[in-house]
Amino acid sequence: MKIKKYQGETEEQVIELAKKELGNDAIVLSIKRITPTGIFSIIKKPYIELTASYDENKVKLEEKPKNNVFSDIRNKIASNSIEDKLKEKDNTIERLEKRIAELETYLEKAMKSLSIDKNKANNKYKNQLVQFIYEMLIAKGVHPAVCSEILEEIDKEENQNIDLIVKIVYNKIIKMLDNAVCTDLFIENDNKQKEAKTIVFLGTTGVGKTTTIAKLSSELIMNKNKKVGFITSDTYRIAAVEQLKTYAEILGSQVEIVYKPEDMKEKIDKLKVINDYIFIDTAGRSHKNEKNMREIKELLDEIDNPEIYLVISSTNNFDDIENIIDVYSKFCKFNIIFTKIDETDTIGTILNIAYKAKNKIAYVTVGQNVPSDIERFSGEKIAKVLLGSMYK
């Protein structure tokens, strides 16, 4: 016995292929639907693989195989022996039974494909690959309007090849994301000014403000040989000051505590003298609480020309993120840091924000490790994740 594999788009197609080449006596060992994973799932469509075994003495692959039951019968009728004819009758009945069973399976499949066709009527796009990409982007949290912007034009084109469609989609996503990349950051400019630069971190509760401060300041202190002083106004949460103090101690930095906005100037002046940068940590505040937002504004009013980062957890849903951005936009200008992208399944919200093009994105954080789990925001990595690969 020998084994041979056949690949095709449908089960009927591979069965037909195998039957044509190996005849009706071949045995089907398995029929599997193979789905390529990750980005390959887009470039290569799922396909059906049939594995069959056959008797090499009966089937010579180069020879034209016996076609079907009917040609078989015709050949046998040509034989004159009665014994042969009886044997033939038995075989014919057996084969007809097999044929009926095959027809039943075929009908069952035809019914199923009929319901698939019905679903197709609900598809947004006529090109199946474009539809597939659409569904994938939606599942990753990309807003339908953003999907339309990316996919509508491509869907209009006839006979596009798969590679080209994927390339166009990938490049469109990267372009959208790259438009939001923030350039020219105080943190990255080698601060040669005499005065220390103040960098403020705002955001709702628990999004990772203090951890992000530790990551960014470590990079400046350890790799760029800069001096960073810290100020915290988070006197609400027990242990918040301690958290920042612990990082400061490890980094050999000074920490000042601000209890009320009027103290801010004095503390900044104190740290200005010996530092290149002053990182200001704030208490996590609900953007829905007007009093909280007023307090933040009062605090910012005391700081001259700060660079502000709004820290947003990418695990929030798009509507919440939009609200947060809108509320903070009313009283300050900021760049965004998206945290916890290691924890989200809907990284598409970042693309939605980039598409809105109101704010620039500076960094993403990808885990809890200080200082390593922070990266400069880049369109390429997010685009790959949106098309099915892992964030690496």
Ligand X SMILES: Nc1nc2c(ncn2[C@@H]2O[C@H](COP(=O)(O)OP(=O)(O)OP(=O)(O)O)[C@@H](O)[C@H]2O)c(=O)[nH]1
What are the residues binding Mg ion (CB under 5 A)?
A: 209-210
Residues 6+ away with beta carbon under 8 Å from 43: 36, 162, 163, 166
The answer to whether residue 209 forms part of the interface with ligand X (CB under 6 A) is yes
CA pair distance 308, 310, nearest whole angstrom? 7
Residue whose C-alpha is closest to residue 147's, from 117, 121, 176: 176
The answer to whether residue 211 forms part of the interface with ligand X (CB under 6 A) is yes
Q: In the complex with Mg ion, which residue's Cβ is closer, 210 or 313?
A: 210
The answer to whether residue 233 forms part of the interface with ligand X (CB under 6 A) is no
The answer to whether residues 32 and 49 touch, using CB atoms and an 8 Å cutoff, is yes
The answer to whether residues 265 and 241 touch, using CB atoms and an 8 Å cutoff, is no
The answer to whether residue 314 forms part of the interface with ligand X (CB under 6 A) is no
> Which residues 267-306 are close enough to bind ligand X by CB under 6 A?
284
Q: Out of 237, 245, 270, 272, which residue is the one contacting ligand X (CB under 6 A)? A: 237
The answer to whether residue 242 forms part of the interface with ligand X (CB under 6 A) is no
The answer to whether residue 208 forms part of the interface with ligand X (CB under 6 A) is yes
Q: What angle do CA 329, 298, 330 make, to 5 degrees?
A: 15
The answer to whether residue 365 forms part of the interface with ligand X (CB under 6 A) is yes
Q: Out of 373, 382, 384, 385, which residue is the one contacting ligand X (CB under 6 A)? A: 373
The answer to whether residue 339 forms part of the interface with ligand X (CB under 6 A) is yes
- Binding part of the chain for ligand X, among 1-9, 168-176, 268-276, 360-368 by CB under 6 A, reads 360-368
Binding partner of 217, given Mg ion, ligand X, none, CB within 5-8 angstroms per partner class: none
CA pair distance 245, 337, nearest whole angstrom? 22
Q: In the complex with ligand X, which residue's Cβ is closer, 348 or 371?
A: 371
Q: Which residue has the tokens 């539809």?
A: 131
Residue whose C-alpha is closest to residue 32's, from 64, 2, 8: 8
Q: The tokens of 122 are what? A: 């609900």
Binding partner of 373, given ligand X, Mg ion, none, CB within 5-8 angstroms per partner class: ligand X
DSSP class per residue in 343-354: S-S-THHHHHHH
CA pair distance 348, 225, nearest whole angstrom? 36
Say how many residues make up the chain.
Answer: 392
Rg (CA), the chain: 33
Q: In the complex with ligand X, which residue's Cβ is closer, 208 or 371?
A: 208
The answer to whether residues 107 and 99 touch, using CB atoms and an 8 Å cutoff, is no
CA pair distance 342, 117, nearest whole angstrom? 38
The answer to whether residue 349 forms part of the interface with ligand X (CB under 6 A) is no
Task: Tell me the residue type at 167.
Answer: K
The answer to whether residue 342 forms part of the interface with ligand X (CB under 6 A) is yes
> Which residues 136-175 are close enough to bind ligand X by CB under 6 A?
none
Q: In the complex with ligand X, which residue's Cβ is closer, 141 or 284?
A: 284
The answer to whether residue 367 forms part of the interface with ligand X (CB under 6 A) is yes
CA pair distance 151, 160, nearest whole angstrom? 13
Q: Out of 48, 137, 234, 287, which residue is the one contacting ligand X (CB under 6 A)? A: 234
Would the CA dihedral through 254, 255, 258, 264 be positive or negative?
Answer: positive
Q: Compute the least distance from the CB of residue 340 to ligand X, in Å.
A: 4
Binding partner of 367, given ligand X, Mg ion, none, CB within 5-8 angstroms per partner class: ligand X
Q: Out of 296, 366, 385, 386, which residue is the one contacting ligand X (CB under 6 A)? A: 366
- Binding part of the chain for ligand X, among 66-74, 166-174, 256-264, 364-372 by CB under 6 A, reads 364-372
The answer to whether residue 220 forms part of the interface with ligand X (CB under 6 A) is no
User: 10 Å Cβ neighbour count for 329?
Assistant: 13
Q: In the complex with Mg ion, which residue's Cβ is closer, 209 or 340?
A: 209
The answer to whether residue 7 forms part of the interface with ligand X (CB under 6 A) is no
Q: What residues make contact with ligand X under the rule CB under 6 A?
A: 203, 205-211, 234, 237, 240, 284, 339-340, 342-343, 365-368, 373
